[in-house]
């Protein structure tokens, strides 16, 4: 604990507080020591002692404010930890204002959980452990054997070397060598003594990227930051980054807030992936914050994808082509080694022979099954994609019509045959499968639909002797399970791999020559305006898993089983024409007034009853209707239930707020925030549980 000189001063400290508390800014405390902004301290808050961040030091006392002698005092200072830099505080401040969350919530949420719980004594012990870990000098950086660059990689790197402050959109087909461009650009930053932040959308992609980066940059300090780490590991890695000891930081969305004193490059791989958007609490977009941070700290940022988000694509289109011209687009359409993308075969299910009434169609069509059999005979592998886990989406009684609904959610419980359970994928409620229908006692209850577990079973029956493997969230939930299953695939111990979207992106399967999507039609007619964009990305990413080895690229295939073979999405996919697909989608978005041609926000409410949630939203609209009229261009839509209306016995509703101009929407939300907060406090006894604003929502 620090020894304080006897001259107290006022410091403004941000602390984590719930949204409904109304505490959006900093609290004043007295301190007998001069503190630098960004210093972590322990302060009293009510009856608790919490960690806070000094936001402003030496603030003047305004008329009517509490004097220093009446303020609560800072209890402890976490000595030895460098203050969080000014750029970090600006990033947090921007995120707080843009996503309309309290400053303290945003600032403390992005710090390692263990750091927020340590007192000064515990912190001193952790600091000694870190010093011990760093006492061993890192090995000298070693020169790695570099692969030859393709012409398009060389051109992309040349453009990346040009001066400028625009973000780069690296649009490259799967297998085109985008990662090699990332690594070469990272080497440039490291050679200048800078740090590199490389972001991936999901945890399961981090270990393989870490292995490749470690191989390339032997002797460099490389750390990862994601939720799969233990609290101690996460704190250690965060501290190494903050102290400047780590050269490369690999992480998921939260890593965008990592303080880096020598930041020189930010890479956002698979930038289109929805995992970059936080879906609860502070609903921030890590991709968008990475772009803001790069501009703030004047460093280059690379957004990479084979299927960019339409927002990024629009930003990279020149104004002469109807775009915004904010990004520099780098195109890499060809695969490394001149390998071709798999030939796309769209299989029309409507031409299949008619089945007797009540008979379920097979999981894969006869032609596709023959193609998979041929691959097995040739010693090659196939990937069958079905983006639905479990054995079947629902159990059904043919006598009375009972279905396996969740008693706590407005959703079905999924049948998992491996442990004979009905499991809700929203609230987690699980029960054993009943022996008979709970309503009528009929023992003939049967699965309806198909998940990956059932598909694996049916393929094993249709392909006797074939080695069938499965990768989804159910079989990879234990530590190390994913790595084991991927190792089996790479070792050639799996003939047919069944998987969800987990295996459709980022993985380098050298022996897979056939990819099949067996049930892709469900996304074609969804109410979500982004459904087609996501489905195209998923299918193209999945296709990219086939033919990655030049020796087999010539005869690799992507099969799509569909009842709608003439749909524009499949037609664009068959040509791998993302530009045409994006042009169609942007035209539809422009006509409908949807992003990127408009800005959206959702006001969401959760309550004990649907009536209470809707009542709060109606009152919220009424309370700010005059603001919408004054600002102009703000459209407030009527409240509606969310797509899944009830989760864990909590009813949910939402209303959409739209504006053609982002600044106008932000002004409206800023001015409405205090009104809604007061309204929520007034309606607390009405059954309202919580409310939140979601800026730039992924779904509506």
Q: Would residue 674 be called left, alpha or beta, if left means φ above 0 and alpha means ψ between -120 and 50 degrees?
A: alpha
Domain shared by 42 and 122, yes or no = yes
For residues 607 and 688, the answer to whether their CB atoms sit within 8 Å is yes
Specify the DSSP class assigned to residue 146.
Answer: P
Task: Report if residue 409 sits inside a domain.
Answer: no
Q: Which residues contact 595 (CB under 8 A, 6 or more apart)?
A: 310, 311, 589, 696
In 392-546, DSSP assigns E strands to 394-397, 414-416, 421-423, 430-432, 445-448, 468-471, 496-499, 512-517
For residues 194 and 362, the answer to whether their CB atoms sit within 8 Å is no
Domain shared by 377 and 476, yes or no = yes
Looking from the CA of 692 toward its CB, the CA atoms found within 13 Å total 20
CATH number, residue 169: 3.40.50.300
Specify the DSSP class assigned to residue 434.
Answer: P
Specify the DSSP class assigned to residue 70.
Answer: G
What tokens appear for 323 in the block? 């775009």
Domain shared by 165 and 290, yes or no = yes
**Placement of tokens 């002469």 in the chain:** 320
Domain shared by 115 and 163, yes or no = no
Closest CA to 572 of 537, 604, 530, 544: 537
pLDDT value at position 298?
A: 96
Task: Report if residue 396 sits inside a domain.
Answer: no
pLDDT in tens, 537-547: 999 999 988 87
| Angle made by CA atoms 263, 269, 273, in degrees to the nearest 5 | 125
3-class secondary structure per residue, 320-333: HHCCCCCCEEEEEC
pLDDT value at position 103?
A: 92
Q: Tell me the C-alpha distance between 76 and 30, whole Å.
A: 12
pLDDT in tens, 228-283: 889 989 999 999 999 999 999 999 999 999 999 999 999 999 999 999 999 888 89
pLDDT value at position 70?
A: 76
Span between the terminal Cα atoms of the chain, in Å: 50
Domain shared by 459 and 543, yes or no = yes
Domain shared by 522 and 639, yes or no = no
In Å, what is the CA distance from 552 to each residue of 91, 94, 173, 258? 47, 49, 17, 42
Domain shared by 225 and 295, yes or no = yes
For residues 426 and 411, the answer to whether their CB atoms sit within 8 Å is yes
Boundary of a domain, candidates 532, 556, 590: 590
Count, residues in the chain:
700
Task: Report if residue 516 sits inside a domain.
Answer: yes
Q: Tell me the C-alpha distance between 614 and 633, whole Å.
A: 24
Q: Tell me the C-alpha distance between 521 and 387, whole Å.
A: 11
pLDDT value at position 512?
A: 92
CATH number, residue 115: 3.40.1440.60
498 φ/ψ angles, rounded to the nearest 5 degrees: -100, 130
Task: Report if residue 574 sits inside a domain.
Answer: yes
In Å, what is the CA distance from 522 to each residue of 92, 248, 388, 562? 39, 40, 11, 10
The continuous run of DSSP H or E covering 180 comes out as helix 178-191
Domain shared by 353 and 302, yes or no = no
Question: Residue ranges of the chain with pLDDT lower than 50?
Answer: 1-5, 61-64
pLDDT value at position 219?
A: 86
pLDDT value at position 210?
A: 84
Task: Report if residue 669 sits inside a domain.
Answer: yes
Closest CA to 381 of 491, 528, 520, 260: 491
Q: Tell me the C-alpha distance between 302 and 73, whole Å.
A: 45
3-class secondary structure per residue, 242-305: HHCCCCEEEECHHHHHCCCCCEEEEEEECCCCHHHECCCCCCCEHHHHHHHHHHHHCCCEEEEE
Task: Report if residue 619 sits inside a domain.
Answer: yes
Task: Report if residue 609 sits inside a domain.
Answer: yes
For residues 343 and 556, the answer to whether their CB atoms sit within 8 Å is yes
Helical spans, DSSP H, in 403-468: 452-462
Q: Tell me the C-alpha distance between 217 and 186, whole Å.
A: 10
Domain shared by 18 and 98, yes or no = yes
Domain shared by 105 and 60, yes or no = yes
Domain shared by 575 and 622, yes or no = no
CATH number, residue 677: 3.30.70.360
Boundary of a domain, candidates 571, 590, 609: 590
Domain shared by 67 and 202, yes or no = no
Longest dimension (CA), the chain: 90
Task: Report if residue 144 sits inside a domain.
Answer: no
The b/e string for 11-44 (b: 16+ C-beta within 10 A; e otherwise) is: bbbbbbbebeeebbebbbbbbebebebbbbbbbe
Q: What is the count of structural domains for the chain?
A: 4
Boundary of a domain, candidates 541, 566, 590: 590
- Tell me the residue range of the domain where 61 lies: 9-135
């Amino acid at each position: 604990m620090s020894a304080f000189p006897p001259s107290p001063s006022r410091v403004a400290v941000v602390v984590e507080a719930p949204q409904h508390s109304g505490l959006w800014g900093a609290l004043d405390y007295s301190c007998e020591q001069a503190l630098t902004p960004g210093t972590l301290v322990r302060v009293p808050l009510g009856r608790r002692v919490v960690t806070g961040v000094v936001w402003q030091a030496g603030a003047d006392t305004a008329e009517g404010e509490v004097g220093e002698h009446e303020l609560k005092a800072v209890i402890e200072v976490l000595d030895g930890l460098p203050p969080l830099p000014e750029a970090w505080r600006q990033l947090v401040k921007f995120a707080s204002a843009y996503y309309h969350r309290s400053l303290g919530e945003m600032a403390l949420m992005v710090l390692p959980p263990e750091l927020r719980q340590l007192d000064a004594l515990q912190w001193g012990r952790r600091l000694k452990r870190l010093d011990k870990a760093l006492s061993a000098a890192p090995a000298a950086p070693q020169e790695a054997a570099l692969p030859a660059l393709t012409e398009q990689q060389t051109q992309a790197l040349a453009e990346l070397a040009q001066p400028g402050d625009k973000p780069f959109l690296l649009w490259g087909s799967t297998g085109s060598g985008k990662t090699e461009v990332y690594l070469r650009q990272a080497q440039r930053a490291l050679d200048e003594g800078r740090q590199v932040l490389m972001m991936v959308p999901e945890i399961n992609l981090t270990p393989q990227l870490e292995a490749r980066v470690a191989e390339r940059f032997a002797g460099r300090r490389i750390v990862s930051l994601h939720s799969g780490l233990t609290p101690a590991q996460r704190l250690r890695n965060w501290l190494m980054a903050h102290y400047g000891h780590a050269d490369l930081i690999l992480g998921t969305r939260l890593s965008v807030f990592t303080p880096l004193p020598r930041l020189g490059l930010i890479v956002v791989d698979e930038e289109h992936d929805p995992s970059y958007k936080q879906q609860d609490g502070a609903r921030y977009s890590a991709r968008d914050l990475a772009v803001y941070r790069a501009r703030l700290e004047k460093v280059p940022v690379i957004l990479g994808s084979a299927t960019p988000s339409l927002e990024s694509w629009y930003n990279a289109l020149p104004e002469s082509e109807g775009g915004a011209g904010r990004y520099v687009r780098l195109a890499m359409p060809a695969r490394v080694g001149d390998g071709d993308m798999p030939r796309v075969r769209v299989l029309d299910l409507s031409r299949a022979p008619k089945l007797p009434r009540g008979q379920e169609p097979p999981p894969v069509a006869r032609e596709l099954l023959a193609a998979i059999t041929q691959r097995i005979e040739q010693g090659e592998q196939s990937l069958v994609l079905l983006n639905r886990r479990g054995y079947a989406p629902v159990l059904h009684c043919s006598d009375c019509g009972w279905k396996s609904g969740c008693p706590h959610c407005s959703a079905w419980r999924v049948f998992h045959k491996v442990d004979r359970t009905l499991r809700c994928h929203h609230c987690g409620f699980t029960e054993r499968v009943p022996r008979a229908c709970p309503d009528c006692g009929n023992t003939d209850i049967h699965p309806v639909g198909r998940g990956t577990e059932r598909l694996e079973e049916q393929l094993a029956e249709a392909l006797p002797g074939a080695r069938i493997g499965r990768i989804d969230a159910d079989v990879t939930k234990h530590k190390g399970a994913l790595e084991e299953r991927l190792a089996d695939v790479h070792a050639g111990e799996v003939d047919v791999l069944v998987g969800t979207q987990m295996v459709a992106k980022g993985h380098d399967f050298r022996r897979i020559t056939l990819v099949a999507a067996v049930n892709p039609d469900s996304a074609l007619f969804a109410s979500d305006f982004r459904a087609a964009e996501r489905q195209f990305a998923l299918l193209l990413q999945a296709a990219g898993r086939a033919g990655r080895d030049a020796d087999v690229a010539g005869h690799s295939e992507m099969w799509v089983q569909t009842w709608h073979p003439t749909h524009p999405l499949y037609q664009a996919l068959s040509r791998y024409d993302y530009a045409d697909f994006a042009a169609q989608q942007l035209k539809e978005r422009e006509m409908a007034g949807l992003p990127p041609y408009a800005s959206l926000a959702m006001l969401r409410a959760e309550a004990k009853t649907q009536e209470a949630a809707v009542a709060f939203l109606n009152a919220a609209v009424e309370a700010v209707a005059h603001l919408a009229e004054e600002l102009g261009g703000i459209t407030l839509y009527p409240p509606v239930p969310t797509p899944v209306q009830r989760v864990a016995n909590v009813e949910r509703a939402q209303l959409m707020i739209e504006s053609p101009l982002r600044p106008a929407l932000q002004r409206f939300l800023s001015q409405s925030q205090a009104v809604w907060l007061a309204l929520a406090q007034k309606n607390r006894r009405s059954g309202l549980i919580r409310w939140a604003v979601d800026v730039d929502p992924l779904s509506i």
